A and B are shown apart, each in its own frame.
Chain A
């Protein structure tokens, strides 16, 4: 398997949804090719970090909750 093919299959390899033979081929390629292994490593970091964002709101700058509530009340009033 070459680099282009291996890179194309990384997400499916990560999800474990490839055919068994392709899983083995990608695994073998990653063991032999440090640049592709780096891409896979980075992808894992991205996926893991993304999963940690699900219930996290500490990275977000929220608008003023009261101001938005007032806007909402005004819009509700005008829509009725």
Chain B
């Protein structure tokens, strides 16, 4: 049984092998890559964009781009890391292309955050679950959301974020801080609304 499991495991091609086959025109290999990575790519797009329809379109764009560029993957980093960076860059490009913003922003392009101290409720902010946080992230203004997702979820540092976004490390730090405070307000608001319903 154990031998069989090992054999089954050995049958699975690596991402690098699949990428090489896909680059050589093997459509089934490209589909396997899509199946393996679709969820991670979509999740990243959704968190950065906050909009499912837009995230779906971007996921498609990422895989189209991947299809065209897969021959440039040399295996110097993990394929998932390479694809992750490609996705981040593509979402950032998309955000830059968007000329209009739906959020009201200040001249610096930031939404002022009002810090609410204390609680109406005797307890603190409710213990947050991941679903509540996902919902609040989707409500952040785009600039805050991008920095928060890249730093606090994806683990990029401020220098990397600044390079990718064409801003300064200080701007990244400032936006992250404001994003966290705004998330706190949004989560508290969600909790108040839930208590009234």
Instruction: Using A60-B134, A76-B67 as known contacts, say yes or no to A50 and B148 having CB atoms under 8 A apart.
Output: yes
Query: How many of chain B's residues touch chain A, expressed as a range?
Result: 35 or more
Inter-chain contacts of A54 with B (CB < 8 A): 153-155
Of the candidates A12, A35, A57, A79, the one whose C-beta lies within 8 Å of that of B39 is: A57
Chain A 9-53 residues near chain B, CB threshold 8 A: 10-12, 35-36, 38-39, 41-43, 45-47, 49-53
* A54 to B156 alpha-carbon distance, docked (Å): 11
Chain A contacts to B: CB under 8 angstroms: 3, 7-8, 10-12, 35-36, 38-39, 41-43, 45-47, 49-54, 56-63, 65, 68-69, 71-72, 75-76, 79
Whether B183 sits at the interface, judged by CB under 8 Å, is yes
Sample of 7 A–B contacts (CB below 8 Å): A3-B117, A39-B184, A50-B152, A57-B39, A57-B43, A69-B35, A71-B60
Instruction: Using A54-B153, A60-B46 as known contacts, say yes or no to A39 and B148 having CB atoms under 8 A apart.
Output: no
Contact across chains for B34 and A47 when beta carbons are under 8 A apart: no
Main SS at interface, chain B: helix
Main SS at interface, chain A: helix
Inter-chain contacts of B4 with A (CB < 8 A): none
Of the candidates B43, B148, B153, B183, the one whose C-beta lies within 8 Å of that of A60 is: B43
Contact across chains for B52 and A63 when beta carbons are under 8 A apart: yes
Whether B98 sits at the interface, judged by CB under 8 Å, is no
Of the candidates B43, B115, B118, B130, the one whose C-beta lies within 8 Å of that of A49 is: B130
B 30-73 binary contact with A (CB < 8 Å = 1; else 0): 01001100111011001100001000100110011001000000
